[in-house]
């Protein structure tokens, strides 16, 4: 079988394979591969806005270039970090199209397509496929929460009516999320269910069990801004899906960990924890801090979020800026080869 294997390029720290492999042996009706293997960092794009809260397309394109340059193995949009819950249906389609166009085949693109019904999710997923997406990330409906049986019906309906690999986004930020048995049984019935993104409390055992019971067929990614990245690596994750602001820092941790320099990976991660733990107090705070960081890094022109959103007082603003400064110093060390 033919395959394409890509590794991050440009900087010396991309010395191990944070890569993706596309197996071209099995294709869908549009000639797109159904097999894709990803290891490393898959940032979920932020969405830049003008003052009138319209989408700043040139800056979004610049953001895609930025994360690829910094070592992203794939990209994803429009997810929670993209404020998808504030977008119109047409805006979600537009973001999916722009990100696919700008990625231009350099890395795979996962389109986040979960909607309030299976029908709407399938429709958006088919659109994503038509504009070049390589995979789909699907979160269960949240507006009217349903039980495990109903969620299984939803995910199975989506998987059986799309033509791309599917990542189940298990987004239960304060609980245990979908059961391991539900995920594994769905994967056994649905060939296209190939990934799961865990955003749960103490997800490590669940991660290991999903891989064991699926015989390694279902690959696991961690979300929640990577706040439990070391736990995920210890339990065998394939990748992490944070925001786009510090891709090289997450990639460096993967590199250190897989080259058996685990103590150094831990040291780097512990330096990142103050930022992550502060940011993870609220999803809008994560987005705000990451946007502010991209302004500091010259990628974004504005850190504007769509209303309604959090508004910080001066003391919080000061704390945020101090935490961002720490993270930027870490990135400078990585990018300029000054870290130990």
Q: What is the structure's pLDDT at 169?
A: 98
- Separation of alpha carbons 124 and 76, rounded Å: 15
Q: Is the pLDDT of residue 24 over 90?
A: no
- Separation of alpha carbons 34 and 31, rounded Å: 9
Give the pLDDT band (50/70/90) at residue 2: very low
What are 24-31's contacts with CB under 8 Å, separation 24+? 25/1, 28/129, 28/163, 28/164, 29/163, 30/129, 30/130, 30/163
Give the pLDDT band (50/70/90) at residue 22: low
Q: Is the pLDDT of residue 242 over 50?
A: yes
What letters, b where the CB count within 10 A reaches 16 and e where it falls short, cover 112-147?
bbbbeebeebbbbbebbbeebbbbbbbbbbeeeeee
Q: What is the structure's pLDDT at 70?
A: 98
- Separation of alpha carbons 83 and 287, rounded Å: 8
Average pLDDT taken over every residue of the chain: 91
Give the pLDDT band (50/70/90) at residue 12: very low
Residue 191 DSSP symbol: T
Give the pLDDT band (50/70/90) at residue 3: very low
Q: What are the tens digits of pLDDT across the range 257-271?
A: 999 999 999 999 999
Q: What is the structure's pLDDT at 31?
A: 59
Residue of 14 and 66 predicted with greater confidence: 66
Q: What are the tens digits of pLDDT across the range 173-217?
A: 989 999 999 999 999 999 999 999 999 999 999 999 999 999 999
CA angle (291, 294, 296) in 5-degree steps: 115
77: phi then psi, degrees, rounded to nearest 5: -170, 155
Closest CA to 290 of 267, 62, 300, 51: 300
List the domains of the chain with CATH numbers.
3-261 (3.20.20.70)
Q: Is the pLDDT of residue 20 over 70?
A: no
């Amino acid at each position: 079988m033919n395959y394409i294997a890509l590794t991050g390029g440009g900087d010396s720290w991309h010395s191990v394979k944070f890569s993706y492999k596309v197996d071209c042996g099995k294709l869908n009706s549009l000639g797109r591969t159904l097999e894709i293997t990803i290891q490393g960092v898959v940032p979920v794009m932020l969405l830049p806005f003008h003052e009138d809260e319209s989408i700043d397309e040139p800056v979004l394109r610049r953001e895609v270039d930025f994360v690829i340059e910094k070592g992203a193995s794939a990209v994803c949009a429009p997810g929670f970090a993209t404020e998808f819950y504030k977008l119109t249906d047409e805006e979600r389609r537009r973001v999916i199209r722009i990100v696919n166009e700008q990625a231009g085949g350099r890395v795979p693109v996962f389109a986040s397509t979960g909607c309030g019904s299976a029908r709407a999710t399938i429709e958006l997923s088919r659109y994503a496929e038509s504009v070049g997406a390589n995979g789909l990330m699907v979160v269960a409906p949240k507006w009217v929460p349903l039980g495990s049986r109903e969620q299984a019906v939803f995910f199975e309906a989506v998987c059986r009516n799309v033509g791309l690999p599917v990542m189940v986004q298990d987004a239960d930020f304060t609980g245990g999320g979908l059961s391991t048995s539900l995920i594994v049984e769905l994967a056994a019935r649905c060939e296209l269910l190939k990934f799961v993104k865990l955003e749960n409390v103490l997800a490590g055992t669940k991660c290991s069990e999903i891989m064991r019971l699926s015989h390694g067929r279902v690959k696991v990614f961690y979300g929640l801004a990577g706040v439990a990245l070391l736990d995920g690596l210890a339990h065998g994750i394939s990748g992490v899906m944070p925001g786009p602001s510090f891709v090289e820092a997450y990639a460096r941790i993967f590199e250190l960990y897989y080259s058996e320099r685990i103590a150094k990976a831990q040291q780097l991660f512990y330096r990142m924890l103050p930022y992550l733990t502060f940011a993870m107090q609220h999803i809008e705070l994560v987005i705000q801090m990451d946007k502010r960081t991209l302004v500091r890094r010259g990628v974004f022109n504005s850190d504007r979020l769509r209303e309604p959103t959090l508004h910080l007082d001066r003391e919080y603003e000061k704390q945020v800026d101090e935490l961002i400064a720490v993270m930027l110093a870490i990135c400078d060390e990585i990018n300029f080869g000054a870290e130990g």
